[in-house]
Amino acid sequence: MTYYAVNGSPRKANNTATILNHVLEGVREADPQAQTELIHLYDYDYTGCVSCFGCKRLGGGSYGRCAVRDALSPLMERLADADGLVFGSPVYFHGITGKLRMFFERFLFQYLVYDADYSSLAPKKMPTAFVYTMNVPYEVMIADRYPDGFSRMELFIQKAFTKPEVLYVNDTYQFRDYAKYKVECFSEAHKARHREHQFPIDCQKAFELGQSLAARNDRNGG
């Protein structure tokens, strides 16, 4: 079994990457034979969808597959053959990063069929998950209806593969030294206390999410 975590953050060792690594640890705990890899999208040079519709052209050489060939192409082929995928992103302007959005435009749109049911050409119905890390507290996230926006992309993931399990990581610690930045709207003391108490809990939830991801394959006979 092979599982990939796709990091949509430009940071390779901060909140999102840390949470994703704990998800993969949970996968390996549940399935010691599993192969896991954390992929940093910011390592890849690629564009979003260019609206060529090569993936929709009947009889074309790229039907059901993105026709654009760049650094993302071999990565998408690897991910299509996975046994489980977890996506992660910090939240920018109430949504996922632009880099991850461009990835989804290419990775998911190629499988979407323009038939009456908007069915999928994805080769596997693998288990999926999504983790979001964000500066705002949970209460603000709910009041401002962040999950409503997130759910739109989750729906396309569900159409292609399966409904993703979701983990929210809120009120994150953003800077190593808050004194160096203009951040008067945040309390460094509060952020530090919250990180000390809550972030280990979030990491444990991520670990359990990874275990659940692997268990879904076991239940489905994958």
Can you give the pLDDT at residue 164?
Answer: 98
Question: Above 90 in pLDDT, residue 61?
Answer: no
Question: Above 90 in pLDDT, residue 57?
Answer: yes
Cβ partners under 8 Å of residue 130, min gap 6: 86, 87, 88, 150, 154, 157, 164, 165, 166, 167
Arithmetic mean of pLDDT over the chain: 94
Question: Above 80 in pLDDT, residue 149?
Answer: yes
C-alpha to C-alpha distances, 185 to 135, 168, 174, nearest whole angstrom: 11, 22, 13
Question: How confident is residue 219, by pLDDT bands cut at 50, 70 and 90?
Answer: low
**φ, ψ of residue 112 in degrees (nearest 5):** -75, 120
Q: What percent of the chain has pLDDT over 90?
A: 83
Question: How confident is residue 64, by pLDDT bands cut at 50, 70 and 90?
Answer: very high
- Give the residue extent of every domain in the chain: 2-219
- Using left for φ > 0, alpha for ψ between -120 and 50, and beta otherwise, residue 127 falls in beta
Kindly report the pTM of this predicted structure.
Answer: 0.94
Per-residue pLDDT of 165-213, as tens digits, reads: 999 999 998 878 888 888 888 888 888 888 899 999 999 999 999 999 9
Higher pLDDT, 218 or 78: 78
Please, are residues 103 and 49 in contact by the beta-carbon 8 Å criterion? Answer: no
Residues forming a β-bridge with 13: none
Q: Which CATH number fits domain 2-219: 3.40.50.360, 3.40.630.30, 2.60.120.10, 3.90.340.10?
A: 3.40.50.360
Assign 182 to helix, strand or coil.
coil
